[in-house]
Amino acid sequence: MSYTSQTVLVSGANRGIGAATVRELLKTDVKKIYAGARRLDSLPDFGDSRVVPLQLDITDQASVDAAAKIAADTDILLNNAGTAVFANFIESPIELINGDMDVNYYGTLRIIRAFTPQFTARKSGTIANVISVVGLTSAPPMGGYSASKAALQSLTQSLRATLKGSGIKVLGIYPGPIDTDLAKDIPMDKATPEHAAQHIVAGIAAGETYIFPDPVALQIGHLWATDGKTLDTALAGEA
């Protein structure tokens, strides 16, 4: 797929992977990019008239509905907006766990439900969900986040089956540790947002169903595909 004449909506475009992906898309011949953010004043100046700022709070149904009307010409929906806290299931306040689930799962579900009818009517479109490698197997220190991303993984799989034959592509993106604000407390080597964005943009263009956009993600993705049990026990500290 070429980005020529394509309009892309990137949620969570104000920082991290989202902002880097907007910049990477601008290197292509993309027609338009809706840069979604809860607060418009948090968006960087991308310096290109193809970028259209879009107020979008995926936890607010009214905001999602308004964005769907404004951005009705969207061809590629890149669901990047997300949040992450270090919360375990035994000791952490339930509000923290609910917060991750409301944004990462229910928020993404809201925007998918708002845009899918438009794609269905046109018999074309791409839905690309930024999940995480911990959506494939849990990282116990981030149990709440892992669960929300596992729910998003399940949603992505179900949506792909539901929309089969509709002309709509459903892609999953599985970053490992990326050097962003969300991952600042993770004590391991991280890829840059720019590195991840390069592979995300290329993967969407290639129509890859599973996109692993950094070295750690590639390693985990390979182990998940070939020996999921070993991966589960390793991350659980049982190996």
Active site residue 3: no
> Within 13 A of 231's CA, how many CA atoms are on the CB side?
20
Q: Which among 32, 149, 169, 190 is annotated as catalytic?
A: 149
> Cβ atoms within 10 A of the Cβ of 95, count?
9
Q: Which among 145, 169, 174, 190 is annotated as catalytic?
A: 145
Q: Cα–Cα distance between 20 and 191 in angstroms, integer?
A: 12
The CA-based dihedral angle spanning residues 79, 84, 89, 95, taken in that order and rounded to the nearest 10 degrees: -90
Residue 6 · residue 31 · CB < 8 Å: yes
Q: Which two tokens stand for residue 165?
A: 């034959």
Active site residue 145: yes
Report phi then psi at 76, rounded to 5.
Answer: -125, 120
Spell 3-22 as b/e; 16+ CB within 10 A means b. Answer: beebbbbbbbbbbbbbbbbb
Residue 124 · residue 168 · CB < 8 Å: yes
Q: At residue 103, what is the residue type? A: V
DSSP reduced 3-state for 229: helix
Q: Cα–Cα distance between 115 and 77 in angstroms, integer?
A: 8
Positions marked active-site: 145, 149
